């Protein structure tokens, strides 16, 4: 008889088990979406609409999923997305996630809003080599970039799609708040404190807008940061040239899993146009709605070099800590390999645009 806990066998099973374990407010924060959840839902349903054209009887001996992303060798083109406050799901928080990503030969982007100091995460999970920044003003952002460099990170992600919080009804209704005791040891500075609003003053346009970053700030960071910078949250092909001109080392197509602005198109529907605009050799990563290995195949066929996995990692963490995250990543890896074998693709380079059919409604390119 084995002592190991019985783990779910699918990502859906992990989601069910995670929801059973969490109270309503915590589940609303981790698994909820903005507004009416239309964008979050579209991320899933549009991926499902991308149909795969298999080619049979091809030689696939000696193939595999290995790749090099931003100078890092990975066993699969799978990277854990930056996600905040993981100690609310498991006492080891981001350390468990990084250890699991490392065990599975996957990458990890560590969130600025991690509950574990970035140095400790790197020590336990050396595959966590990318650090995510939220803009905190030039000096504080650069100081954090320098600290990440000293801790051994090799690239930076600058999240550009969430300068203010989205409207997250479920969270508001459930009264979710971070407990006062929850540590955020990587935040370079306290968020700016504003005096109370008066009269009809606008919190967004007359206060927060003055601390929101612009493309000039991105260019400044790319010039001064010791590591390559990748903006995360690019959805419009028109932003690609701006970020290439700013000196970015790549980009991440993402709508933040539908957690920020509801009504945005699915991220998969934006991916082909963004790849087309970015050119063949520019690093393009993708996230939003990946729940199966077949979704990774779809994203690669439409132009992604690698994918980031969001909520499923949190399902694994809530259910089984490092073991749960490791199993979730393993399931995705195995499913990607099976999809490649059944579609006749020996390597990631064989997963090309003509392996899939794209539905009407994707952003034209």
Residues annotated as part of the active site: 256
Q: Which of 311, 323, 340, 351 binds ligand FMN (CB under 6 A)?
A: 311
Q: Which residues face 309 on adjacent strands?
A: 80
Binding track, positions 57-96, relative to ligand FMN; x by CB under 6 A:
------------------------xxxx------------
Residue 292 binding ligand FMN, by CB under 6 A = no
Q: Does 43 bind ligand FMN (CB under 6 A)?
A: yes
Residue with token string 């009407």: 360
- 94 within 8 A of 80, measured Cβ to Cβ: no
Find the part of the chain contacting ligand FMN (CB under 6 A) among 54-62, 136-144, 287-295, 326-334. 287-295
Interface with ligand FMN includes 310 (CB under 6 A)? yes
Does the footprint of ligand FMN cover residue 269 (CB under 6 A)? no
Residue 323 corresponds to which tokens in the numbers above?
């073991």
Q: How far is the CB of 3 from ligand FMN (least distance, A)?
A: 31
Burial class of 62 by CB neighbour count within 10 A (0 to 12, 13 to 18, 19+): exposed
- List the one residue out of 90, 132, 144 whose CA is nearest residue 107: 132
* Residue 156 touching ligand FMN (CB under 6 A): no
Task: Closer to ligand FMN by CB, 189 or 197: give it.
Answer: 189
Long-range Cβ contact pairs of 288-292 (< 8 A, separation 24 or more): 288/43, 288/253, 288/254, 288/255, 288/257, 288/258, 289/40, 289/43, 289/44, 289/46, 289/47, 289/257, 290/47, 290/332, 291/11, 291/12, 291/44, 291/47, 292/11, 292/332, 292/335
Nearer to ligand FMN, 38 or 347 (CB): 38
Q: Find the shortest distance in angstroms from Cβ 96 to ligand FMN.
A: 15
Q: Does 254 bind ligand FMN (CB under 6 A)?
A: yes
Q: Which residue among 232, 275, 292, 333 contacts ligand FMN (CB under 6 A)?
A: 232
Q: What are phi and psi of 46, to 5 degrees?
A: -70, -35
Residue range at the interface with ligand FMN (CB under 6 A); choices 50-58, 210-218, 237-245, 286-294: 286-294
């Amino acid at each position: 008889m084995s002592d190991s806990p019985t783990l779910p066998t699918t990502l859906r099973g992990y989601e069910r088990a995670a929801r059973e374990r969490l109270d309503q407010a915590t589940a609303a924060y981790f698994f909820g979406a903005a507004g009416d959840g239309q964008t979050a839902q579209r991320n899933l349903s549009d991926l499902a609409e991308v149909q795969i054209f298999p080619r049979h009887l091809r030689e696939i001996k000696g193939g595999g999923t290995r790749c090099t992303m931003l100078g890092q060798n990975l066993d699969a083109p799978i990277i854990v997305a930056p996600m905040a406050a993981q100690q609310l799901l498991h006492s080891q928080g981001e350390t468990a996630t990084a250890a699991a990503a490392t065990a599975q030969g996957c990458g990890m982007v560590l969130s600025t809003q991690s509950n574990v100091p970035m140095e400790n995460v790197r020590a336990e999970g050396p595959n966590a080599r990318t650090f995510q920044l939220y803009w905190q003003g030039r000096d504080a952002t650069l100081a954090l970039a320098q600290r990440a460099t000293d801790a051994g990170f090799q690239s930076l992600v600058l999240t550009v799609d969430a300068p203010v919080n989205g409207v997250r009804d479920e969270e508001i209704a459930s009264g979710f708040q971070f407990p006062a005791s929850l540590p955020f040891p990587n935040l370079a500075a306290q968020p700016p404190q504003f005096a109370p609003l008066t009269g009809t003053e606008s919190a967004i346009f007359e206060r927060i807008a003055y601390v929101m970053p612009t493309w000039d700030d991105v260019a400044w960071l790319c010039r001064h940061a010791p590591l390559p910078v990748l903006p995360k949250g690019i959805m419009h092909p028109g932003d690609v040239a701006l970020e290439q001109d700013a000196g970015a080392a790549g980009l991440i197509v993402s709508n933040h899993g539908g957690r920020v602005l509801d009504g945005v198109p699915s991220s998969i529907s934006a991916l082909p146009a963004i790849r087309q605009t970015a050119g063949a050799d520019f690093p393009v990563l993708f996230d939003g709605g990946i729940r199966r290995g077949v979704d990774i195949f779809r994203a690669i066929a439409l132009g992604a070099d690698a994918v980031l996995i969001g909520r499923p990692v949190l399902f694994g963490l809530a259910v089984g800590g490092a073991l749960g995250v490791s199993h979730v990543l393993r399931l995705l890896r195995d499913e990607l390999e099976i999809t490649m074998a059944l579609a006749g693709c020996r390597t990631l380079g064989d997963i090309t645009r003509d392996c899939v059919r794209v539905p009407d409604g994707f952003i034209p390119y």
